Structure 1
Amino acid sequence: MNQQLWNDLIEQSKQDWLIGWEAQAILNLTNQKIIQLKQLQTKKELPLNILLAETNPRSFIASFFASIITNNYIFLCNPDWQKSEWQQVFELVDPDLIWIENKIKLLHEWQKQSTKNQNLDNPKNIFQSKIKTSLSTPNNSSLIMIPTGGSSGKIRFAIHTWSTLTASVQGFCQYFQIKTINSCCLLPLYHVSGLMQLMRSFLTKGKLIIFPYQNLKQGKQPNIDLEEFFVSLVPTQLQFLLQSNPHWLASFQTVLLGGAPAWQSLLDRARKYRIALAPSYGMTETASQIVTLQPKDFLAGNNSNGQVLPHAQVTIIDDNQQLLINGKIGQIFIKSNSLSWGYYPQFNPNQILNTDDLGWFDKQGYLHIIGRSSQKIITGGENVFPLEVEAAILATGLVKDVCVIGLPDCHWGQVVTAVYVPSKLDVSEKLIQQKLQQQLSKYKHPKLWFSVDCLPRNQQGKINYQQILEIVVIADLAVQRKIM
């Protein structure tokens, strides 16, 4: 049992750090769950595999701490996952316990269907044929599995520990030169960006407000002075709040922005309202940001992703694995104490992360991300980076949202393709193309255009590229039918 963490939680509860929730009640619930887990552990030799998909923040926090205090393996899950997504989870994990609300029926239905042809009375027997994975950790400590799907939508769990998450918090504190972090959390706690807000407040003895983003969309807001609070947003949330309540957003000490690339017009609008914005670069594998732009630099007109936080090292490498000097574009490699230990069940601690991202450092040490290597489009022998094209299209003001991809083409190799949401009904691709004439080289202009009502983005604002391809295929088939 992690006695030190339990003692820390007791001390934190005396401070009533969870605004809007009675800290003592959460402590009592945590204790109840600890007792439950200890009873289960007497029947098991290995750490328990626990799936956590609580929708209630109070239950999530109690379950999260109880699992770690008792040195078990906890898998954070999205309560809104559907049948196919839960199937992916069960193909990876043999759970001993599922803490979940509102989806119990769904899980049981899937289990029953999976065991139907096996004539098994007990749905839990579906897991008996699996080999329980036990990973070797220092002092038999807990493992924290955080879900990541990237752009493919395929669920994976990045393996983290209390130490990797703590390293991220320590680097954050050093970078912002702050000892106590107060956070207003609008993001789900199962996601790394939400979880790290919980971790920062807990480890630095700060305050935490958990306020559903949907409440903001309904015009509600926390009734508290936010001048000493951080808040984390994804670009789509920033866009909504700049339109609906920019002055409320300007009241925060710092507005962290991540999850997906932000477009220039969005950043310009944030500067207009003097938002203390801190664009950042990071991922689930790095326990949130490892590069962040200070608000003062942002307000001064800096459009980079920022500078590297103290707990991380970022290098730019070329195709020959050679280190590149400032100003040269290459692949981003990351080394950090906050780096995950691989993807469950493959255990690989202390590795260097070879990302799919391309970028470069300027002479002042600011990192500039230009896109993903796997999404780079090679058309007629020329390299085109979707982020640049998307930014130019958004800058026309004629679209609300856009995604640029490369499609196979027998003549060009790949053809630049734009899937966009027009800002008005009368916006045409011809009108957009006219606006692009002075912004992009001709070979970067999309040759194929598909207008849609909305783009498939997740809660963090990331595009689901598999669904984008489906949209394009369906739209292309519809055009072909009309021609025929």
Structure 2
Amino acid sequence: MQTEIDWIGKRAQLFSNDRAIIDADTDESWTYFEINERAEQLAAILVDHQVNKGDRVALLAPNHVSYLDFLFACMKIGAIFVPLNWRLSTDELQYVVNDSGPTFIAVHQLFSEEHEWLEPSMIIKTNDYINSNHLNDIPLSVVDISEKDPLAMVYTGGTTGKPKGAVLSHQSIFWNAINTIVSWNLTKEDCTLTTIPMFHTGGLNALTTPILLAGGTVVLRSTFDPEEAVEELINYRCTTVLFIPTMYHMIVQTEMFKQADFPDMKVFLSGGAPCPLTVYEAFKNKGLKFKEGYGLTEAGPNNFYIDPDEALLHQGSVGRAMLFNEIKIVDEDGAEVDVNVNGELWLKGKHLFECYWNNEEETRNAFIQDWFLTGDLARRDAAGYVYIAGRKKEMIISGGENIYPLEIEHWLQSHEQVNEVAVVGLPHDKWGEVVAAFVSLCDGHMTEEVLVKYCEQKLSRYKIPKKFYMVDELPKTHVGKIDKNALVKEYSNI
């Protein structure tokens, strides 16, 4: 192993007795010394299984200490960690496994029966799975590892086409963590709860790795329950946390949230998708600090910082670029747009991914020089605060007008009877596309006429949905986001 790359080993030397990880399912915990020792033991097992530098090591598991075991073991021997999305269908999972070609596969017993076809090299039954497999006296030789060598490969959501393996180098993960620590003022006193699935970059890299690099504590929970989440934030004295908007939507409706004070929490962070303004209001009404972030698998995922007090004044903004990355918002010709004009968001920095695995064409298309083309639309106000307008592919063009679904969604979501909403463009012979809104209600009944009148209070006439569909529940992707592609596919011919 190479000590310049192995930061978990260095932290274990300097702060060996500080608590690193807590398993909320069992209430077991591990110090930095113990986490590093687990990684060294697992690295020895991988070496014994002929895993070499550049080989892929896959893990199929719920949120569990094994994610950190395998990440840090791969860090030590130059292997590439591939967390597998357990929410995928068998066909989708087979595609990812065939595409990544892992030399070693570990499967948690929760999924072992369902996915016997994986023929795993290891079944994880308990937190002591490493000790039960420990092979004594297997030396870890010095491996020539550079910062640009791959450390992890996280597959994108795959809502359009096949999932792509975003290759994150040691540099990508390290600089995302450093940038987050310095920009967000994380310290060894910080503690977070990770319930976002760790096969997702938000679960693995948004707060988990930055807080560990800073020397703080990460609490892992294998499942998400809104009542349990509130209870654990309080019991473990968490200081910061990341949930996706769907999770916050559930949390703010619980009685426990309404009664809780959260005495140790510095700030609640939302990411993964634009957050409804009703969630902002729920935290504002309790006097709790709340802000929104922005990222994606290929970029960190952390890119912006906003002070929670400023977030109150600029609701919906993700803030300004963090210390060690750059942004620009451009038109179709790559020229920067004016203030308050929507354009595509481009990112630049050492936190960016290196390439898409086995996909040179997609990699070339994703970059112009050192700039990564996110495919997301954004605007910047006169004070420099950035607002995400949605995916470029989701922009609706109806009768020649550009319409941004997020603006409509935010307004409809603010109605007290609306539970969730998604706005999409459906094909139309005359207008090209027509604005359609899919709405689930909190309770009771609501007519289309009521929603139209509500939209007329705020929206220009051409932005008001021409079709409303009342649905019991909106479809979700594998990472919990509303699946607009599924809606377009199902309703395009109606």
Query: What interval of TM-score do these two structures reach, taking the shorter chain for normalisation?
Result: 0.7 to 0.9
Helix, strand or coil at the partner of 1:454: coil
1:333 Cα deviation after fit: 0.9
CA separation of 1:410/1:54 partners in 2, compared to 1, >3 Å: closer, same or farther? same
Superposition pairs for residues 406-445 of structure 1, below 5 Å? 406-445=425-464
CA separation of 1:321/1:7 partners in 2, compared to 1, >3 Å: closer, same or farther? closer
Aligned to 1:168: 176
Q: Which runs of 5+ in 1 are unaligned?
A: 112-135, 477-484
Aligned to 1:66: 73
1:460 Cα deviation after fit: 4.4
Aligned to 2:337: 324
1:456 Cα deviation after fit: 1.4
CA separation of 1:71/1:219 partners in 2, compared to 1, >3 Å: closer, same or farther? closer
1:75 Cα deviation after fit: 1.0
Superposition pairs for residues 262-273 of structure 1, below 5 Å? 262-273=275-286
**TM-score of the superposed pair, with normalisation by structure 1:** 0.85
The 2-side partners of 1:318 and 1:140 are apart by 31
The 1-side partners of 2:224 and 2:216 are apart by 24
1:471 Cα deviation after fit: 3.7
Question: Comparing 271-280 with 147-156, which one deviates more in the overlay?
Answer: 147-156
Deviations 1:258-297 (A, max 9, x none): 1111122222222111221121111111111201321111
Helix, strand or coil at the partner of 1:35: helix
Aligned to 1:447: 466
The 2-side partners of 1:78 and 1:438 are apart by 42
Aligned to 1:17: 20
- Choose the corresponding residue for 2:321, options 297, 308, 318: 308
The 1-side partners of 2:401 and 2:230 are apart by 49
1:95 Cα deviation after fit: 1.6
1:422 Cα deviation after fit: 2.2
Aligned to 1:30: 39
Q: Which runs of 5+ in 2 are unaligned?
A: 23-27, 120-143
Superposition pairs for residues 323-402 of structure 1, below 5 Å? 323-346=336-359, 351-402=370-421
The 1-side partners of 2:147 and 2:412 are apart by 53
Aligned to 1:243: 253
CA separation of 1:191/1:104 partners in 2, compared to 1, >3 Å: closer, same or farther? same
Residue identity opposite 1:15 in structure 2: D
The 2-side partners of 1:364 and 1:25 are apart by 47
The 1-side partners of 2:462 and 2:234 are apart by 51
The answer to whether the Cα contact below 8 Å between 2:329 and 2:379 also exists between their aligned partners in 1 is yes
- Choose the corresponding residue for 1:78, options 79, 85, 91: 85
CA RMSD of aligned residues (A): 2.7
The answer to whether the Cα contact below 8 Å between 2:274 and 2:316 also exists between their aligned partners in 1 is no
The 2-side partners of 1:178 and 1:47 are apart by 32
Instruction: Note if 1:8 corresponds to 2:10.
Output: yes
The answer to whether the Cα contact below 8 Å between 2:58 and 2:83 also exists between their aligned partners in 1 is yes
The 2-side partners of 1:401 and 1:140 are apart by 42
The answer to whether the Cα contact below 8 Å between 1:314 and 1:333 also exists between their aligned partners in 2 is yes
CA separation of 1:319/1:27 partners in 2, compared to 1, >3 Å: closer, same or farther? closer
Superposition pairs for residues 47-196 of structure 1, below 5 Å? 47-55=54-62, 57-101=64-108, 102-109=110-117, 138=146, 141-149=149-157, 151-152=159-160, 154-180=162-188, 181-196=190-205
Helix, strand or coil at the partner of 1:138: coil
Helix, strand or coil at the partner of 1:209: strand
Deviations 1:169-219 (A, max 9, x none): 222222233443432222222211121222112211112222345354457
Superposition pairs for residues 456-475 of structure 1, below 5 Å? 456-458=475-477, 460-472=479-491
**TM-score of the superposed pair, with normalisation by structure 2:** 0.83
Aligned to 2:307: 294
Deviations 1:119-171 (A, max 9, x none): xxxxxxxxxxxxxxxxx973784421112215437422211122211111222
Residue identity opposite 2:396 in structure 1: I
The 2-side partners of 1:137 and 1:380 are apart by 55
1:41 Cα deviation after fit: 3.0
Aligned to 2:231: 221
CA separation of 1:219/1:306 partners in 2, compared to 1, >3 Å: closer, same or farther? closer
Residue identity opposite 2:59 in structure 1: L
Residue identity opposite 2:104 in structure 1: L
The answer to whether the Cα contact below 8 Å between 2:277 and 2:315 also exists between their aligned partners in 1 is no
Deviations 1:378-404 (A, max 9, x none): 111211111111112212223211111
Count of residues in correspondence between the two structures: 449
The 1-side partners of 2:222 and 2:116 are apart by 28
The 1-side partners of 2:209 and 2:151 are apart by 15
The 2-side partners of 1:21 and 1:226 are apart by 12
Q: Which has the higher helix share?
A: 1
